[in-house]
Chain A
Amino acid sequence: MAKLVLSLDGEVLGYHFLEKASFGIGRKPENEMQIDDSSVSKEHAVILTVGNDQILEDLGSTNGTLVNGVKIKKHILQNNDVIDIGRYQLRYINQKAKPGVDSDRTIMMMPVMSQRHREEKSESPAQTATLPDTAVSVARVANDIFPLGGIKGLQGPLAGQTLELSRPLATFGKAGVQVAVINRRPHGYSITRVEGKKPPLVNGLAIGEEAQLLQDEDQIEVGGEILRFFLKQTA
């Protein structure tokens, strides 16, 4: 179970388990964690537990709520987050709340709506809501290890231009005639034929059906374009 370790000026004062679905922090005694100090608002912040998430929300406190030094309105707590409430600090300890993907397999649980008792300024769910359209945070780092590459146009519509290849894929050539895709992958860049009767050329040689790794200075001919692939030198 998650816990909060309360400290002031580096001295640990005690800890609290986050047992309730709604855990209030503030000066008033009604709070699950009462901190009787003038730097803390009467109802300073609340931590809501929803599934595996514990969401810290500032309740419009005078001095604000900070997480790892950054002022927040709402924040999904991560293991070892440090929360500033007035002069006090709270460390959030929850081994399960690590950034990234859960190793746990999918499980089913009751919808939030039927679990929750707190009044909600619901902005009519379903119909109008936009889905979280992003992948998990760890899904983004994998491609940042290998040096960035790009192409320089030597002939054709991209002649004289230099393009960085920072996205996972980019296509070149002429739609309906001959197209190749260059993929940015964790271990480097590769080129694959997309369409066209004749295969594109790399250094004058036709590429096969399988993806082919690109090397610095490789020259690509596709759909009437001539491009030079380059890798940026890492500092």
Chain B
Amino acid sequence: MSVRSALEISTITDTGVVRSFNEDTIATEPDLGLALVADGMGGYKAGDVASGMAASIMMMELKRQLRETSPTASRIAEMLEFSVGRANRAIHQAAQASPQHHGMGTTLVAVVFHDNRLHFAHIGDSRLYRLRQGKLQVLTQDHSILHEQVALGLISNDDAKISHNRNLVTRALGVEAQSECEVQALAVEVGDIYLLCSDGLNDMVDDVNIELALNSLQANLPLTVKQLVMMANDNGGHDNVSAILIKVHESFPAIEQSPGLFGRLFGWLK
């Protein structure tokens, strides 16, 4: 089954209740199993420029490279790293070139579904969650001061609710000449639901209620994604809110163009 027909994708991005414009950017390419969320930051409308650049460069690079025949898993990791590096450099250069864009940057969470696997990269505090067997789990570790405080045992999870460090990320695309990026890969199971989101969702809605929405409403994915934003806005909507839901309906093994490892093994055995 092709990745396009195996996956159901629903997306939403919303300005929220408090802010006057939306600096989040989302993008998907169902044919290639691609999706990303970028949450821009920096002066007047510069955040919007940064997240927009990240999204268009990432999509362009990944599309170009993924159209190569049957990339291997390690090749996809390289593609993600390469694309993130390109986006970082471009945003950084643009920021240096014009004073009003100085210091702009963006978070990023990007996924590639290929050959029954999910490859993902993230920078900053945009997150990737997975719902499997009814349990919601966050697959990314925020690059944020708040997360470090908890990880170091400086404050408890419970204290995190009253921390003033929610807006401090420790990594972002475009802020420095070089960017660090973690790429991970996991096996996908039929029935999994993946959620990419900006912090406007998880800062306003408890994980337990995100889990409740995904579990109760997943028969209607477009409604689920709308209800996530509704909950965030009902709780105050302090930030832009973006969410992409991806439900795995079927498995999607890559079609071998040339004999793969197994093909060759069988070839030798014949």
Mark A residues whose CB is within 8 Å of B: 48, 50-53, 55, 74-76, 78, 96-97, 99, 101-102, 104-113, 120-123, 125-126, 129-140, 142-143, 167-171, 175-176, 179, 181, 183, 185-186, 192, 194-195
Contact = CB atoms under 8 A, between A and B. Distances in A.
Contacts of B124: 106
A139 B203 contact: yes
Contact of B175 (A108, A112, A135, A181): A108
Contacts of B169: 106-109
A135 B203 contact: yes
Interface stretch (B70-78, B86-94, B150-158): B150-158
Given A96-B164, A125-B148, A139 B220 contact: no
Task: From A48, A106, A138, A167, name the one whose CB has the most chain B CB atoms within 10 angstroms.
Answer: A106
Given A131-B147, A169-B216, 17 more contacts: A50-B154, A102-B164, A106-B167, A111-B143, A111-B145, A122-B153, A123-B151, A126-B151, A129-B141, A132-B160, A133-B208, A139-B205, A167-B209, A169-B212, A169-B231, A181-B217, A195-B219
Interface in B127-180: 138, 141-143, 145-172, 175
A122 B213 CA distance: 35
B219 A52 contact: no
Q: Which 9 A-B pairs have the closest CB atoms?
A: A132-B160, A125-B151, A52-B164, A139-B235, A129-B151, A106-B41, A51-B145, A51-B165, A195-B219
A135 B206 contact: yes
Interface string B106-143: 01000000000000000011000000000000100111
Contacts of B165: 50-53
B39 interface: yes
Contacts of A102: 164, 166-167
A195 B239 CA distance: 30
B217 A139 contact: no
6 contacts: A53-B163, A76-B162, A131-B147, A135-B205, A136-B161, A181-B217
Contacts of B199: 106
B230 interface: yes
Given A132-B157, A194-B220, A185 B234 contact: yes
B202 interface: yes
B141 A139 contact: no
A137 B105 contact: no
B2 interface: no
A109 B203 contact: no
Contacts of A194: 216-217, 219-220, 223
B269 to A, nearest CB: 40
Given A130-B157, A138-B236, A183-B227, A78 B162 contact: yes
B227 A181 contact: yes
Interface string B173-209: 0010000000000000000000000010011111111
A133 B162 contact: no
Contacts of A142: 234-236
A183 B154 CA distance: 37
B153 A50 contact: no
Contacts of A134: 157-158, 160-161, 206-207
B235 A183 contact: no
Contact of A109 (B42, B142, B168): B168
Contacts of A107: 41, 167-169
A199 to B, nearest CB: 13
B47 interface: yes
Given A76-B163, A125-B148, A133 B138 contact: yes
A112 B152 contact: yes
B172 A108 contact: yes
Nearest to B211: A133
Nearest to B209: A168
B202 to A, nearest CB: 7
B102 interface: no
B234 A108 contact: no
A3 to B, nearest CB: 16
B63 interface: no
A181 B206 CA distance: 19
A110 B159 contact: no
Given A126-B151, A135-B203, A53 B236 contact: no
B149 A53 contact: yes
A133 to B, nearest CB: 4
B162 A137 contact: yes
Contacts of A112: 145, 148-149, 152, 154, 170
B149 A169 contact: no
